[in-house]
């Protein structure tokens, strides 16, 4: 199964435009031999990529790993490119993405992208559009989180992203979704 996640470039897009430019940005593989969340955590930690809270998310039953190797073409979109001039919460971002024919990512995309994408621009983040995982990072309780593949202060990290609302003016973050490839006839 091949899937395409598109990076919709702001310079070519008009807010909420279904025909926004779709250019493959990065190709990664899922199902690469790491079989458990603990395997991913060890690989992330070994490379210095694991931010606080990631181990907890990887250990949840909601985190699953592909059993077969699958190639995935990656790219992403800002909330402004989805047509939200004043920002949007996660539910609205997901609804708009699905309206445009996009799908949520499997959670494995987050750690695989971090392990395979090592040339990230300074101070950028890619929020994985995925089903949130309940994470108990803070002593005050559990919070819903998705993965954030970020570059912060010259450090490449995989971190939990707890924010429900994302500002339309925040160009630091792009949301990553899946666009299935059409069957060849």
Encode pLDDT of 29-54 as tens digits: 999 999 999 999 999 999 999 988 89
Encode pLDDT of 98-137 as tens digits: 888 778 999 999 999 999 988 888 888 999 999 999 887 6
Question: What average pLDDT is seen over the chain?
Answer: 80
Model pTM?
Answer: 0.84
- How many Cβ atoms are within 10 Å of 134's Cβ, its own excluded? 13
Q: In a 10 Å sphere around its CB, with 0-12 CB exposed, 13-18 middle and 19+ buried, how is residue 139 labelled?
A: exposed
Q: What is the mean pLDDT of residues 151-167?
A: 83
Q: What is the mean pLDDT of residues 169-175?
A: 75
How far apart, in Å, are the Cα atoms of 16 and each of 68, 79, 80, 84, 97? Answer: 35, 9, 8, 8, 10
Note the pLDDT of residue 163.
Answer: 73
Domain locations in the chain as residue ranges: 3-180
């Amino acid at each position: 199964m091949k899937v395409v996640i598109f990076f919709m470039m702001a310079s070519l897009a008009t807010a909420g435009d279904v025909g926004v430019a779709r250019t493959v940005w990065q190709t990664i593989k899922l199902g690469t031999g790491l079989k458990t969340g603990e395997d991913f955590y060890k690989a992330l930690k070994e490379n210095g990529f694991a931010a606080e809270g990631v181990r907890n998310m990887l250990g949840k039953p909601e985190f699953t790993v592909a059993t077969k190797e699958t190639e995935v073409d990656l790219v992403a979109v800002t909330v402004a490119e989805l047509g939200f001039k004043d920002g949007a919460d996660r539910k609205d971002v997901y609804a708009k993405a699905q309206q445009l024919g996009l799908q949520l990512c499997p959670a494995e995309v987050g750690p695989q992208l971090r392990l395979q994408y090592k040339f990230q621009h300074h101070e950028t983040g890619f929020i994985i559009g995925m089903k949130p995982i309940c994470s108990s990072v803070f002593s005050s309780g559990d919070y819903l989180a998705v993965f954030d593949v970020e570059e912060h202060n010259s450090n490449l990290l995989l971190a939990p992203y707890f924010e429900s609302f994302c500002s339309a003016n925040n160009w630091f973050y792009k949301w990553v979704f899946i666009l299935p490839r059409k069957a060849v006839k």
